[in-house]
A and B are shown apart, each in its own frame.
Chain A
């Protein structure tokens, strides 16, 4: 007998028998397939237990927690400056966009308003974080569906934005640049002009992606009608960002709520798509990237001069109270519910991340889907694992 001991063999057979007899007339035996936690298509360590009947999914359920770092517990023992350094590691691709909601919530509690120049630069870096995040998605969706080249174009042109963020904040991915009351520093000389060239590069990558992927009939065959989410179900699960807008929900926090970012002074358009399938999600994100580059161009031209830091005491003690501020992050609506008891560190910070809600729809969405479509749907929902597991 081979080295396999009898106990293992029995366990192996028992495992097989445990798979429910899924398809009675065809006498087929169900198979439980573990996609992840080590899998190229899951943006990190996410594990999906899919019960298959042949290639069709009978029931799929994501298992998370491999990347859970316990942010909400950490925030209880850190000062506000330390938390800012921590939270730009939640959605590690949209670097600056994580810090803004937390700082805005703290500013609302303290009743401080950042000077106009700081708001302008904050919005510019916020949109740059969005572009850096979504351009990675535009390339990555190609890999999920099998095309190798778009990824390289995306990374080549994304470098320009990361260089701009690094030139201002010092860090490409983790800027840690936002402070309560304004920003840590001001723009270096010649930055505004380099940013204009970077924005032109962003529009160029959007056109390339439209030619290589969006137009290709195979991409349309793989994504049209795959993973359709009706608007009401999307809202019930709390989907936000491009996933909601792709189902026809005309809702964008940048336009609908006023949190102190000058989106009012810029004319831009919210893109929606009626279909709600994977193709629509890709299409909406592509248009939003182009829109973001136009927003940044307009903001760069109208930067007011002035200080970047309001008058703020050196030791920051946030007065007692609660505040919830949510902004339109690249992945969706990210909100910080900050409860403060008036001392150096917050009493409780609830971090509402977009990917958690975006992924909570997958058990409902992945029923009766083919195996390759699991990957397409997960790719189109576009989550970042740090955002999902916090």
Chain B
């Protein structure tokens, strides 16, 4: 549902007309500073604004948002892995599917969220301007196989821990980060847990109790109906 510059179309007519000048102004000021660094933006009227930045303008975006636009309050920084999870919800995963007997649904293809995005990994950060009472979510594409993005620690010192957490959870390298190391996970931990293809083992070890096994009526040769009142 990536939208072009104008707010998405299926919004009712009245809302489309009502332009949120505060957030339009934010996008305009940022576009004026970064030029074509601002790739796309999406506004939910007087609610929130998302802006996608080109990867090489990411550090410049940080300093411009902080100094020129005055968004001094740092919120958070993290990443999203847009590839749909092969394990789906683990309940109807292959292990239990065999009991149910119908074949697994095909995997939905990858779509990205507001303000678009081409690659699988996307880093997003949120900063807020507490005088004019608005907050903005900046997004940047981090690449498919070996994601890497510039660091924000030079501008927002608080981003240090957030980048360390994103690095250990998603494997996104932050160029220029003082000392990228695990923050939550034990030092010898391999793999990036928050990636969608990282399995949640607790759901494999225990069979799903939701499978209905109701024995048939004694004496009748009715074979057990599998999907009984599912």
Measured CB to CB, the residues of A under 8 A from B are: 64-65, 68, 70, 72-74, 76-77, 108, 232-233, 235-238, 240, 249, 251, 256-257, 320-324, 326, 333, 335, 337, 339, 341, 344-345, 347-348, 350, 352, 356-357, 360-361, 364, 389
Can you list 17 A-B contacts with CB-CB less than 8 angstroms, sorted by A residue number? Answer: A65-B184, A72-B194, A73-B198, A236-B156, A237-B157, A249-B130, A256-B133, A257-B133, A320-B1, A321-B113, A322-B50, A337-B76, A339-B80, A352-B75, A357-B76, A357-B158, A360-B160
Contacts of A347 in B (CB 8 A): 84
Specify the main secondary structure of chain A where it touches its partner: mixed
B97 at the interface (CB under 8 A from A): no
Partner of A350, one of B78, B84, B184: B78
Q: Kindly provide the distance from the CB of B154 to the nearest chain A CB, expressed in whole angstroms.
A: 11
Q: Kindly provide the distance from the CB of B3 to the nearest chain A CB, expressed in whole angstroms.
A: 11
Contacts of B169 in A (CB 8 A): 72
Q: Kindly provide the distance from the CB of A375 to the nearest chain B CB, expressed in whole angstroms.
A: 21
B80 lies within 8 A of A238 (CB): no
* List of 6 A-B pairs having minimum Cβ-Cβ separation, nearest first: A238-B74, A237-B158, A65-B184, A238-B158, A68-B184, A251-B130
Given contacts A65-B184, A251-B130, A324-B137, contact A344 B74 (CB under 8 A): no
B73 lies within 8 A of A322 (CB): no
Q: Kindly provide the distance from the CB of A317 to the nearest chain B CB, expressed in whole angstroms.
A: 13
B130 lies within 8 A of A236 (CB): no
A335 lies within 8 A of B194 (CB): no
Given contacts A65-B185, A65-B186, A324-B48, contact A76 B85 (CB under 8 A): yes
Give chain B interface residues in 157-183, CB to chain A under 8 Å: 157-158, 160-162, 169, 182-183
Contacts of B162 in A (CB 8 A): 356, 360
Residue with the greatest number of chain A CB neighbours at <10 A, chosen from B124, B183, B185: B183
A68 lies within 8 A of B185 (CB): yes
Partner of A64, one of B72, B108, B184: B184
Q: Kindly provide the distance from the CB of A357 to the nearest chain B CB, expressed in whole angstroms.
A: 6
CA distance A326 to B137 in the complex (A): 13
A236 lies within 8 A of B113 (CB): no
0/1 interface trace, chain B 134-153, chain A, CB 8 Å (1 if under): 01010000000000000000
